[in-house]
Chain A
């Protein structure tokens, strides 16, 4: 693929890249710079994009690696989920939601995902939210597919613990410990 081929896809991908960058960085300014830098990097190495790789997952991977590099540069290796600034990521009452219960549920789901540890959160965003296959997510994050699945499984068990209606279970979930979802 050439830069020209890729460049014609960028404007269309932009809203999803923006949303992804916002969700992983939790900051509008960072997200804007992130997307911009990722697009520059992608155009520089468009020739490395193989025909069997989905351009969108490839772009997610560049956005993600750019962000990881950025975190390293800032020496915030273990950005804890407590740092998460969700002032602007709040879900608001959605007029299209059928019931208030559904609306509350949506907010709880978003909140549960946001509070996952970084590595699990990104996998959840790619697979459950962006709809990437395990394979695509593995490519995007440059890890084996087994790693994707085990992160996903851990993430889902942590989230499951929050949404599990039973009273008697004991789950050592970070998210649960934070008591962020009630």
Chain B
């Protein structure tokens, strides 16, 4: 019998039937080389599991736990496969080289985040819901801002939670795609029926990075992303909302500052991380139409008729 490594391992682990074991032992007796391998294998019988159990690993990141829960919920709700949705978005979304490492691909792909977002909000009302009244950060400007004690509406909370996933790196490398954005704005106006303009916030130091059509509870939700000179991106999110106008109100959703208002049957939420941008002032400028718009109606009309 020619004893091989696999047999030797089984021998050392006591997994050979008696007859085979005896044969192996006879071979070991006459072969120092086999005896050597057996000695090594014996020395390798170590408490691996215990050793690794004592290894201090970083905990599962909260962001990962959240994303997996969202994926799981989307799958359970019978959503179309999140990944194919992602691919579809990516085709006319962010163009990144396919060879980019996982890390950069995901970090820089808002389309991916959009999927996580959609997956989360479709069935995420329950998890995203804060207790009513738990809306700190109304702030010292409370006198000039409407009360926000009833808490943010579900879509605003969803959008704010989504925006938390954005880092400066997420959007810093994106070159705005004018054609794509114009097309998206056209779809927003014609398909989604939102009479929306994209505010030009350059005067306030914010660079337009892109506009996306997302969905919340099967209704269009528009997300316009800007990058300030410093700090994390700011998003202006908009949904149709057939209710009377509402003045601007500031609130805190989780770690994000949110300023909301309603105007001409559109609900707006301006969302950013605390600190870098004066969101209430910016909201005031937008709602007072004191800023220009990037994709003007004239541009869109030209495109619509020429196409």
Contacts and interface: CB of A to CB of B under 8 A. Distances in A.
B52 to A, nearest CB: 5
Nearest to B77: A4
Given A28-B58, A169-B36, A73 B101 contact: yes
Contacts of A33: 102-103, 105-106
B118 to A, nearest CB: 14
Chain B interface bracket (under 10, 10 to 19, 20 to 34, 35 or more): 35 or more
Interface stretch (B64-72, B145-153, B283-291): B64-72
Interface in A65-87: 70, 73-74
A93 to B, nearest CB: 9
B84 A44 contact: yes
B68 A35 contact: yes
B114 interface: no
Contacts of A89: 55, 57
B44 A159 contact: yes
B78 interface: yes
Contacts of B218: none
B46 A163 contact: yes
B63 interface: yes
18 contacts: A8-B76, A10-B68, A15-B60, A22-B57, A29-B103, A40-B86, A91-B56, A96-B54, A105-B51, A106-B50, A106-B51, A110-B55, A128-B49, A149-B9, A150-B6, A157-B40, A160-B40, A163-B46
A109 interface: yes
Q: Is the interface of B mostly helix, strand, loop or mixed?
A: helix
Interface string A140-163: 000000100110111111011101
A82 to B, nearest CB: 20
B37 interface: yes
Interface in A1-47: 3-4, 6-8, 10-11, 14-15, 18-19, 22-23, 28-30, 32-37, 39-41, 43-44, 46
A154 B44 CA distance: 10
B95 interface: no
Contacts of B203: none
Contacts of B51: 91, 105-107, 109-110
Q: Give the interface size bracket for A toward B.
A: 35 or more
A7 B72 contact: yes
A22 B82 CA distance: 24
Given A8-B76, A94-B54, A156 B103 contact: no
Given A4-B78, A33-B103, A35-B64, 16 more contacts: A3-B81, A7-B74, A10-B72, A18-B64, A32-B61, A91-B54, A91-B56, A109-B48, A110-B52, A128-B49, A129-B49, A159-B43, A160-B39, A160-B41, A160-B43, A169-B36
Interface in B98-120: 98-99, 101-103, 105-106
A159 B72 contact: no
B46 A8 contact: no
Nearest to B100: A73
Main secondary structure of the interface of A (DSSP, over half): helix
Interface core residue of B39, B40, B69, B71 (most chain A CB under 10 Å): B40
B116 to A, nearest CB: 9
A153 B60 contact: no
Q: Which residue, of A43, A70, A94, A153, has the highest number of chain B Cβ atoms within 10 A?
A: A153
A124 B6 contact: no
A44 B44 CA distance: 40
Contacts of A92: 56
Contacts of A3: 75, 81
Contact of B48 (A4, A30, A129): A129
Contacts of A4: 75-76, 78
Interface string A156-176: 110111011110010100000
